Structure 1
């Protein structure tokens, strides 16, 4: 029996993704993981199992493995600003060092009695982790309206899809799928020929903008966000989509990012930011986005393999994803050459002159 070979992936080495910041959970998810509100909580990033907890008032991330018999620290308990392994009671401080061994407290603690701690910060009410900070040349992705006066931010509970994070990014920025996946929800199917925008690289971001036909608004639900679309997409998986709504010219931003759990699964985060208005409840906007996601999910999870393939057929109308894939490949190759090459590939700006005003 012969097995059909899988198509060639876009890039073989995903190690460069370890140099980026990735969100692993929302603050609410961490605080809900244990009655103490401090964790611990198990997460997975790039195939690496981590434990998240709040110790000494700070959120920390470390490998989810006790050095003694490799039990999961996420099955433990936060005690006196340490994580206690609930197999034999070993306790770890925020640096990942063992500070107490109940079985032999009179003996020196072995130097190898530690688990690896990782850089971890809280921003946008999300817990971010960077697995490899040795190059220190990446930043938390851009979000236009988190601190903007007059804007209301709603952090939506995260959700997991059985697909690569790259696929989810392309889904959110795909300008050709609206008429077919979201007819009558986000788009009028009569407008099935997508625009081809100028796509620029600026300071680690892909930037582009489109203006859907304003007349579509009459054929869409009242709460469908329709207006001019301005995208600022921080590599590798974050998207800041800022709209100026056609119906009242107010600001509305959808901010999303995907955490690469592994090659075939991603945890996705969404924040809805909109101008404060009277009689404009959060649940209406959350419910609408849920409908959109339910339309997208079965299509995206049907893509096989889950990883992007270099053998897929592309068109000029796939310009956004084509440019995205090109940049991902460049980053993967540059990372193999070292820090300077990687930083240069990430931060060098490239102006798209192919589309004339």
Structure 2
């Protein structure tokens, strides 16, 4: 069979929010603690900084002689170029040219800016806000005072964000990639679960097999997924062993065509144990997954892959991605309808499944 990537053009992803760095990474980038820092999203080179007005993201290229602004500094309420000291405000407009301080500033002395916001200890960027249809993904541990929340260091994979998403939600691989870590190898046949679309999210529940011989730190129990399109997964686990909540929030940043920067935040009710124990366990699971996912070729999801019924989650995911891709070409209204129209398979009632084309919460965004 001839191989062909499902998505030839990923420009529709520019309408979504993506994490590009942690707050800690930004604070460590320069002695000032406010950046700037260089990041990359969907092949765009971006500079992120914290100005008095808030976090800002701009094209990482000075309009003067093309030096990277990320190699410069934050100077008051501006990002200053390292080459000739040109200063750009929060809107990306040059406000000062040291070489000719009294002359009019050229109208073209502007750097493209992007939507930027902080949430959950991560810095998020949206490259295209013209559709006004997307929100920063949902993390159930954000406002839960009972949880101890930890932001892990980002991890990099030579794999696409679509492949990483499918890996994290793939029930069938647990028994083979994580035997004795997350799963019992004798439980290789998972159920086929109903999947609901609500407010730009996939929501579904998987009851993992009880009584498996796995480590205590393994979050095994009732898996409740809330997956904000396109790459964020909020997995809330009601653990069988302790009847407590453990949340894993994983989201991938599509750096370029073949590489992802991945972020994990976890929270737990039972917090009298070591954070490092859980961090080490998460890293062990990632280390088991990484070589398998990086071995997939071609890097992009291919049309010639053979699927079976237990691949329902990935098949529904691919279907929705295609719908969003196609709808984005038709404009804002079509995109909103494709993203926000509820589709309920499970029969569960969702108070927020209104069918309206409004994001589920209001963002505080520096635009």
Are 1:249 and 2:243 counterparts? yes
Q: How far did residue 7 of structure 1 move? A: 2.1
Given that 2:2 and 2:304 are in contact with CA atoms closer than 8 Å, whether structure 1 keeps it comes out as no
Are 1:92 and 2:88 counterparts? yes
Runs of 4+ in 1 over 6 A off after TM superposition: none
Query: Which whole-Å CA distance do the structure 2 matches of 1:57 and 1:138 have between them?
Result: 23
Q: How far did residue 102 of structure 1 move? A: 1.5
* CA deviation map 1:103-144 (0-9, x unaligned): 211211000001011111111111011110111111111111
Of residues 25, 33, 36, the one that matches 2:29 is 33
Q: Give the corresponding residue for 1:48.
A: 44
Question: Structure 1's 201 and 85: CA in aligned 2 closer, same or farther, altered over 3 A?
Answer: same
Are 1:342 and 2:335 counterparts? yes
Q: How far did residue 57 of structure 1 move? A: 4.8
Query: Which whole-Å CA distance do the structure 2 matches of 1:183 and 1:148 have between them?
Result: 32
Query: Which whole-Å CA distance do the structure 2 matches of 1:109 and 1:76 have between them?
Result: 20
Query: Which whole-Å CA distance do the structure 2 matches of 1:34 and 1:90 have between them?
Result: 19
* CA deviation map 1:163-214 (0-9, x unaligned): 1100000000001100110000000001111221111111111111111111
Q: Give the corresponding residue for 1:71.
A: 67
Aligned residues: 347
Q: Give the corresponding residue for 2:365.
A: none
Are 1:322 and 2:315 counterparts? yes
Of residues 298, 317, 335, the one that matches 2:291 is 298
Given that 1:166 and 1:237 are in contact with CA atoms closer than 8 Å, whether structure 2 keeps it comes out as yes
Q: Give the corresponding residue for 1:140.
A: 136
Of residues 19, 22, 26, the one that matches 2:18 is 22
Q: How far did residue 76 of structure 1 move? A: 0.7
Tell me how large the CA RMSD over aligned residues is. 1.3
Residue aligned with 1:325, SS: helix
Query: Which whole-Å CA distance do the structure 2 matches of 1:146 and 1:102 have between them?
Result: 44
In structure 2, stretches of 5+ residues that fail to align are: 348-367
Q: Give the corresponding residue for 1:240.
A: 234
**Greater mean deviation of Cα atoms: 234-243 or 204-213:** 204-213
Query: Which whole-Å CA distance do the structure 1 matches of 2:149 and 2:97 have between them?
Result: 44
Give TM-score scaled by structure 2 length.
Answer: 0.92
Given that 1:6 and 1:305 are in contact with CA atoms closer than 8 Å, whether structure 2 keeps it comes out as no
Residue aligned with 1:262, SS: coil
Query: Which whole-Å CA distance do the structure 2 matches of 1:150 and 1:351 have between them?
Result: 30
Question: Structure 1's 353 and 128: CA in aligned 2 closer, same or farther, altered over 3 A?
Answer: closer
* CA deviation map 1:283-331 (0-9, x unaligned): 1101100000000000101111111112211111100000000000000
Q: How far did residue 352 of structure 1 move? A: 2.2
Q: Give the corresponding residue for 1:333.
A: 326
Are 1:274 and 2:302 counterparts? no
Q: Give the corresponding residue for 1:153.
A: 149
Query: Which whole-Å CA distance do the structure 1 matches of 2:154 and 2:246 have between them?
Result: 20
In structure 1, stretches of 5+ residues that fail to align are: none
Q: Give the corresponding residue for 2:203.
A: 207
Give TM-score scaled by structure 1 length.
Answer: 0.95
Q: Give the corresponding residue for 2:356.
A: none
